[in-house]
């Protein structure tokens, strides 16, 4: 809390006037970050002129790609804390992100092909989100993350490229 107060330019007591405890500060910080990520992902999905594949990649990058390779040695502790302190909040935003992906997919030609294959837009969105989470953990750089997500999105959009 001392480090946060110092970075914010307030006293520790001033910080506690705004937040009841560390957990509240963490939850509110997480919610602010998730709101920003979701807004950036939604903005990427709204650029219909870019085509579906690049919009899906940009949305996944906005959602979690910017964190690839940027987490320090305390990342494992932070991930455990985020799950225990804000698991329902995180789940809520993840569901909203998947719904945004599903909406973009549903409004595009691949959805018709997915439907013929017995897949719904929500299922494809869930798979893309799972791929993004996995690549966030396994990629060494953001560039590698974007390349990997491009492959995943291309697989979902492949029916657009058939002749």
What is the arithmetic mean of pLDDT over 60-82? 69
- Report whether pLDDT(71) > 60: no
- Report whether pLDDT(97) > 90: yes
At 124-157, the pLDDT tens digits run 999 999 999 999 989 999 999 999 999 999 888 7
Q: What is the 3-state secondary structure (H, E, C) of the chain?
A: CHHHHHHHCCCHHHHHHHCCCHHHHHHHHHHHHHHHHHHHHHHHHCCHHHCHHHHHHHHHHHHCHHHCCCCCCCHHHHHHHHHHHHHHHHHHHHHHHHHHHHHHHHCCHHHHHHHHCCCCHHHHHHHHHHHHHHHHHHCCCHHHHHHHHHHHHHHHHHHHHCC
Q: Please check whether residue 89 lies inside any domain of the structure.
A: yes
What domain range includes position 34?
A: 21-161
Domain count, the chain: 1
pLDDT of residue 96: 97
pLDDT of residue 134: 92
Q: How confident is the model at residue 88 (pLDDT cuts 50, 70, 90)?
A: confident
- Report whether pLDDT(160) > 60: no
CA 73, 76, 77, 78 torsion-angle sign? positive
Q: Please check whether residue 90 lies inside any domain of the structure.
A: yes
Q: Please check whether residue 109 lies inside any domain of the structure.
A: yes
What is the arithmetic mean of pLDDT over 76-84? 56
Q: Please check whether residue 26 lies inside any domain of the structure.
A: yes
What is the arithmetic mean of pLDDT over 28-33? 89
pTM of the predicted model as reported, rounded to 2 decimal places? 0.80
- Report whether pLDDT(50) > 80: yes
Instruction: Give exposure, 128-143, as e/b (b: 16+ Cβ within 10 Å).
Output: bbebbeebbeebeebe
Please, are residues 64 and 82 in contact by the beta-carbon 8 Å criterion? no
Name the residue with higher pLDDT: 73 or 134.
134
Q: Please check whether residue 154 lies inside any domain of the structure.
A: yes
């Amino acid at each position: 809390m001392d480090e946060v107060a110092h970075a914010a330019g307030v006293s520790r007591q001033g910080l506690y006037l705004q937040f009841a405890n560390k957990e509240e500060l963490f939850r509110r910080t997480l919610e602010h970050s998730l709101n920003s990520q979701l807004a950036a992902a939604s903005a990427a999905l709204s650029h219909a002129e870019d085509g579906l594949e690049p919009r899906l990649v940009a949305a996944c990058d906005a959602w979690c790609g910017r964190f690839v390779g940027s987490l320090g040695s305390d990342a494992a502790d932070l991930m455990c804390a985020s799950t225990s302190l804000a698991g329902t909040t995180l789940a809520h935003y993840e569901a909203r992100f998947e719904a945004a992906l599903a909406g973009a997919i549903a409004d595009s030609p691949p959805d018709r092909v997915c439907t013929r294959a017995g897949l719904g837009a929500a299922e494809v969105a869930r798979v893309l989100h799972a791929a993004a989470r996995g690549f966030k953990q396994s990629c060494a750089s953001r560039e590698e993350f974007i390349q990997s997500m491009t492959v995943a999105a291309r697989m979902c959009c492949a029916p657009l490229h058939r002749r």
